[in-house]
Amino acid sequence: MTSEELYEDDKFPAPQLAALVASKVYYNLGEFNASMRFALVAGDKLDLSQQSEYVETIISKCLSHYISVSQKLHDIPKENLTDEEKVIDPKLVAVAEKMLKRCIDNGDHKLALGVVLEARRLDIIESILKNAGNAVDATGDETTTSALAQYVLDCSISLVSNREFRNKVLHMLVGIILDTENADYFAISKIIVQLNDSNLALRLFKDLLSNAKLDDTKRLIAYQVAFDLVASAPQQLLESVANDLTTFNGADKQEGGANYYDKLIKILSGVPTCDLNITFLQKHNNTDLSILNKTKNQLDGRNSIFHSAVTFENAFMHAGTTADGFFRSNLEWLSKATNWTKFSATAALGVIHQGNLSQGRRILQPYLPGSQGSCYSQGGSLFALGLIFAGHGREVVDYLRQHITDGGVGSSQNSEAEVVLHGAALGVGVAGMASGNVEVYEELRNILFSDSAIAGEGVGLAMGLVMAGGSGSSDASLSRDAADSAQAEMLQYAHDTQHEKIIRSLAIGIAVLNYAKEEAADVVIQQLISEQDPILRYGGAFTIALAYAGTGNNKAIKLLLHIAVSDASDDVRRAAVMGLGFILLRNHTAVPRMVELLSESHNPHVRYGTAMALGISCAGTGLKQAIDVLEPMMKDPVDFVRQGSMIALAMILIQQNEKLSPKVKQIQQAFAKVISAKHEDAMAKFGAALAQGIIDAGGRNVTISLEHQQTGNLNMKAVVGLAVFVQFWNWFPLAHFLSLAFTPTAIVGVREDRKVPKFNFNCHVNPKLFGYPAKVEEQNEKAPEKVVTAILSTTIKAKHRARKTNEAKKKMKQEVGGDSGDESDGEKDVKKDSEQEDESKMDVDATSAGINAGKEDLTLSNTTIDDGNNDSAIVNDEFDQFCDSIQKSSRRVYKVENMSRVLPSQLKYISFDKEGRFVPIRKFRGVGGVIVVTDNAPKEPVEIIKTVRQINSPDDDEDDEAPLPEPFEYIPEENEE
């Protein structure tokens, strides 16, 4: 009898032993599932503590199977499960829990937490965190509750694929973190953004400011959390928190002293953050205007596609810098813009002045409706106004709504009014993005129902932008119902209308509305990808991309790959491949390998999608593998594939220099060569011009950042901006949406009063490694070379005879008694010429040295060097260990000024002096942006960096006002007589 038969035989006295033997037999046969099944029924005969390959394999298979069935039980509705799948084998649970207990006893808390996170065991997670001691595990990591809670938080954000379970974990973490002795308020801020919970934010700020007068640290932490929320939270959450704080502040005014809630509300308005960003970009603008001017001269401005290309290039190069001098100095070229080209040119001012909240309306005043300009300038100016106030549109949404309601009266709209409506709709969509404003949505819907193709194209997208995300903060159920209702109306009208422009706009609007909804968007996804209309299937592909952006969800990836190879429409296949870039944002290194075969597809639309997927997922990383895939595509026989590859390369190589990415100069030269080539296709030239603008965007001081450094969540504004940007394939003005993805790369230390003091922090590697790329040198045209004069043979012979005669005369003079020590005239001439040559050479060397010195001064304009013994910097995996090694070792330290350009790859080399005057309130862990610092010597004088807002509108800054004098009693002096 076999061991299996013995186990099944009721009369056999040792069935567990037979099961163990059967398990080992199947193990040696490679049948691991069968081996695991018999091992589970072996009971006590299976010694899990035994150190053997067999036991380790059985444990591994048991844990994998337990995770799989547990996930299925939690994630899939019970009505879709079989009776067997509804119950987990108790023996399997016993083995899994026994191994988890062993991990915890051995101090491997993180390993245990990883398993139970995947198995969806919230009860065990909570138990581990509450019972964690102040010890160190086997890997040397802390096992305190705070450290383990931070680990669970990071894993939940980046690894847990089920949204419902992730939210349960985050809610559980809030209570655990706040109950710890030294609560990590910055971890709570991450949870606030993930849950989009304004009530939790209000609770946090009340806790931090409950004793603000006496506790300076908590007050500064509150301000830092507010700056982090402005950088990463959607507009609706910020407005809801600000409104709640205003109500609370009015009911609970503090007695005497400054009102700290007012300062907090001011920060949450986004005004200080925008002011600091444009001040940095304006102060450090390093745009190479020679590239822009050369492109303008080589592309015929009378051709609308070329005029638009230069417009976008200028807008990207100067994004956020407020430097609009190129337009002012090229008025003749600008006058060649007509119709929609003029619309794009005017909207470019919004990109250039993005974040200039104090001066935005004044700058655009000559172009806004009511001026004498054309309808295209008026529409473009409204779009520009929305771009300036992107994400902070409270001040201008009502103004833009007024133009929508005025233009929507009646159904007989002329073409000029439709153009203005188009611009107003795009403007209100950008300014009110993710605000969830139902009133704005309804006004846009009224315009949509007029069935105007031009106005409807802007309105459909704007409806999706306003309702982006589909869930609110203060009343989630109400906002979710409004979003679901909006989605149903948009989809219904897409079926009813005959205008392709409106259908396409609504399809993208639905995709934006479902941003980050994950499995909650599955119903509408299935509906869209099953449509007969390819435009709606196109929208379905983008809905998958945005709903699962950054999740790496396998189901979504398989669905997009299936669409990419099977759909009958080239547009849908192109969108599906691009969607892969959005889903794999957090795992960008896997994208080149995944799409490498698609880059060689016979279908050019698939190749274009491959290029853009690489550009989206690897933006700002300089990833070599992505560059290797894209570089050959620059020579693709199809023009729009070349266009896509150049744009993608620029997105990847943004803020890269030759030391970081050796190919960057070669690729920039390739862009210039495409533009200058007379016989190159217009679409390829358009792509090269955009690429030049992207690679040098924001005065070379911004990157494309799709993930927030402060909170670790996705940058919604950037992801949505990129998704709309790629729609320039159908409508050029949408290219301006790329500016929403630009993030300044700076460290800005601010005091409690939101002023920027001048001080230095440390960089432990030579900043020249991360310096600006060298500017393009203007090559002067070579003068025509002189033709060598022909010399006859008789002339050569005559010179030879004359030379012999001179030598004979010289010899005769020496014999007669001439001074042999004197030099001949010929020798003197030769020596004089040699000296002149050496002197000239010295001049050239000196000039060259001066140029090089100038370049070095430019590179290190904001740095001073402290000499040390060692110039090298060692980077460890753990940032804290790296900082400790810096403090202990003697090395060369470079001082960098506050509000300086610091690249993301440079952040790990930055540190602050612990004993310095200005120290960050949050322990610095390689995160840039706005950093609130503690002033350890507040009474000592310090130089303040004036911001753009303080320079332009000094009266608007209440902190500049002199403080009221203290009460005093006047005692007149007595006259001494």
In a domain, 836, yes or no: no
Q: How many residues does the chain have?
A: 977
529: number of Cβ within 10 Å: 22
Structural domain includes residue 941: yes
Count of Cβ atoms closer than 10 Å to residue 480 Cβ = 16
What are the tokens at 711?
């909170």
> What are the tokens at 290?
């020679």
Lowest mean pLDDT among 64-73, 127-136, 529-538, 605-614: 127-136
Print the domain residue range for 209: 188-269
Nearest alpha carbon to residue 345 among 314, 300, 302: 314
Residues forming a β-bridge with 748: 930
Residue with tokens 């799989």: 68
The total domain count for the chain is 2
Q: Which residues is 945 bridged to in the sheet? A: 756
- Does residue 160 surpass a pLDDT of 50? yes
Per-residue pLDDT tens digits for 628-667: 999 999 999 999 999 999 999 999 999 999 988 999 999 9
- How high is the pLDDT of residue 159? 84
Alpha helices in 252-330 (DSSP H): 260-268, 271-283, 289-298, 304-317, 325-329
3-state SS class at 743:
strand
Q: Is residue 222 part of a domain?
A: yes
**Tens-place pLDDT, residues 676-701:** 998 999 999 999 999 999 999 999 99
pLDDT digits (tens, 9 = 90+) for 528-561: 999 999 999 999 999 999 999 999 999 999 999 9
Give CA–CA dist 349/362, Å, rounded: 12
Residue 730 reports pLDDT greater than 90:
yes
Classify residue 251 by burial, with Cβ atoms within 10 Å: 0-12, 13-18, 19+. exposed
**Which run of H or E residues covers position 702?**
strand 702-704
CA-based nearest residue to 927, from 889, 879, 960, 893: 879
pLDDT of 874 reads 35
**Domain limit, last residue, from 234, 269, 304:** 269
In a domain, 159, yes or no: no
| pTM recorded for the entire structure | 0.84
DSSP string for 187-221 = HHHHHHHHHT-HHHHHHHHHHHTTTTTT-HHHHHH
**3-class SS at 871?**
coil
For strands 900-901 and 756-757, give the pairing.
unpaired
> Is residue 240 in some structural domain?
yes
Domain end residue (candidates: 269, 287, 305): 269
In three-state secondary structure terms, 246 is helix
**For residue 89, what pLDDT is reported?**
86
Task: Decide if 250 is inside a domain.
Answer: yes
**Is 326 inside any structural domain?**
no
| Ramachandran bin of 451, using left for φ above 0, alpha for ψ from -120 to 50, beta for the remaining angles | left
Given 269, 298, 325, the domain boundary residue is 269
- Band (pLDDT 50/70/90 cuts) for residue 775 is confident
Residue 763 lies in a domain: yes
pLDDT, mean of residues 85-94: 86
Residue type, 751: R
